[in-house]
Structure 1
Amino acid sequence: MRTSVRSASSQRGALTLLLGLLLLMGSTILTLSSVRVGIMEQRIANNERRGLEAQQAAQAGLDYALAMLGETEYSGGTVPGLAAAADYSYAVTVTRNADIDGCIHFTSRAEAESNAGIAAVATECFQRQQLLATMIGSGNGLPPLVVNGGIQNIKGTPDIYPRTCDEAGEAEDCQSIAVASSADGIDLDMGHFNKNNKEGIPIPSGDQIAANAFEGSAWDYVFGISKDTFKALAAAADPRFLWISDSSKKLKDDLGEPSQPVYVAFDQAVGCPKLGGTVYGIVYFESPTACRSQGWGGAEIYGSVVFEGGLGQDQPPVGMTANGQLNQWSWVKAKSGTEGADLQQIRASRIPGSWRDWD
């Protein structure tokens, strides 16, 4: 009987030991599985993070291309290095593809320099928009005076200095034009306008006048952007753009600099206010009638003044009295010889819906 008791007790001890071993093995397996899952999740998270970094680097390449395209005819290349972490930096290459229906198509590829397996690509289409639509006068500049209409019986002593084309480095298609008008030549009576060359020697009255230079509005002849776009730039507090619709605002001070020209537009509602000081840039008057008998003050304008209507009139008050100077600044050198800036600002923008993250 004692043998049976000892045998049952031994069996219970062995069973307890076996169950303990099974529980230990199970907990070990669960622990190892949890560790493995944690490692996999960490790797997945790291891969997602690196993939996101690579995608952001590729997007940065497109942003770089957009910025460069606003300055020049950018054709692609290597973007300055982008570092996302202490041990990860990305090499970004931007390629300009063939244009499609006016779309300037770029592809940006980012690749981790320490791991070629981490890479991303992004493509997008851009379009360029030039601020100015017309470059008559020098191949890359406007005449000092643009008039949508005729010119009659100008009084006073306004001086106008068209650009000369004998400077070194001038464009081959340079034309020395003082006035561009939409009217016939017979309707262009310069009156007291004094046209002079750079030495101040008078130019014969019939020379350097471009009659029938354009049809439609003077705005469309000069600018390559709409008035709404211009107003948006002015509303965004860009110091180069001024759209003036408040008649109480007077412009008697200097505007612009040789290295930073300005673009000033007077709304039709304010008429034809007079200017003072020195202006580097373009001045536009929207009213088709307000400037017929009123000059623009004694300002010296280095660039162009643009009128949406004719100047002077046959009926009282007869003519228009104007003073000051209009100087056709070459935008390479001002009349004083000061180095200037390019008047032709170029804007680049994205084409909505053209972005994708594959080739």
Structure 2
Amino acid sequence: MKVTLLGAGAWGTAMASQAARHLQDGDVCLWSRSADQLQEIAQSGENKSYLPGINLPKNLHLEADFSAAINRLSEQDLLVVATPMSGLAETITQVLQVAKHPLNIIWLCKGLEPATALLPHQVVEREHQLHGRGLTHAYGALSGPSFAHEVGAGMPCALTVASASAQLCEIVQAAFHHDNMRVYSSDDLIGVELGGAVKNVLAIAAGIGDGLQLGLNARAAVLTRGLAEMMRLVKAAGGKSETCMGLTGVGDLILTATGDLSRNRRVGLELAAGKSLNEILASLGHVAEGVLCAAAVSDLAKRLGVDMPITAMMGEVLSSKLTPKEAVKKLMGRDPKIEA
């Protein structure tokens, strides 16, 4: 089989490496809009800008021609969109415009579209209605607790692919389930995608708590009550609340809220230190999806009538309506409730 990955950031590069370790020479293609970036990768053998220190497989094919990267695939192959959430709509539109036959498509991004509070699959469905050209593509999301650098290094990892298409899930497993990576399947696309969005916001909250030195008790409370918020939202949106107890919910939440490689956790730590959001984002060099989708998650919760106080407070902190300390005070001052 052949695999094409669109986007040579940290995640796209790491997952391209994972597939290339198992497949044949040239079967895995990594596309980038920057020919200069691809030339640097070819010369150095690593993606120094996004995944430094990781030697990439020599059988990895690098491609700057978008149409060629897409149309090298057959109906049994796999296309992976490895852009941030902000690039999903544009990339899918371009794919639909150049595709010559039905494709198997998954995305790696986590979050909601900020302006619309749409989930990734809803963004894709919207673009498909506008640009689908009569082709019926299979769609899905690949998510779970994973840092790109560790995946690129071949360290143990477990992910979940979610799709209404069982065949697509099997294709994704054939591409990535080998060596130190396990890939489970699910039909709960809503639950998997919402888990990936909400956990980023909660990781900022956990980072703020740690940055303010509120203690391990406080961190446990944030994660536990944050998980309850996630489960309520997933159920209200039409997903399965039990999905939140798996890799793409509690698993990804634990990793992102406690791992030192987490960009969202780092945002929380630096907000607690008194830095401005603009200053923090400028120093990151990479996207922190929790910042981009916090307001959208809160908007979706309001639309569905779901109470998400931790998420709501993070939205107010990120929009500079509250300081981190004020947000903690408001959360701790809420009326007592029944735990359910």
TM-score in terms of structure 2 length: 0.24
Tell me: higher relative CO, structure 1 or 2? Use CA pairs within 8 A at least 6 residues apart: 1
- Bigger proportion of residues as helix: 2
- Bigger proportion of residues as strand: 1
TM-score in terms of structure 1 length: 0.23
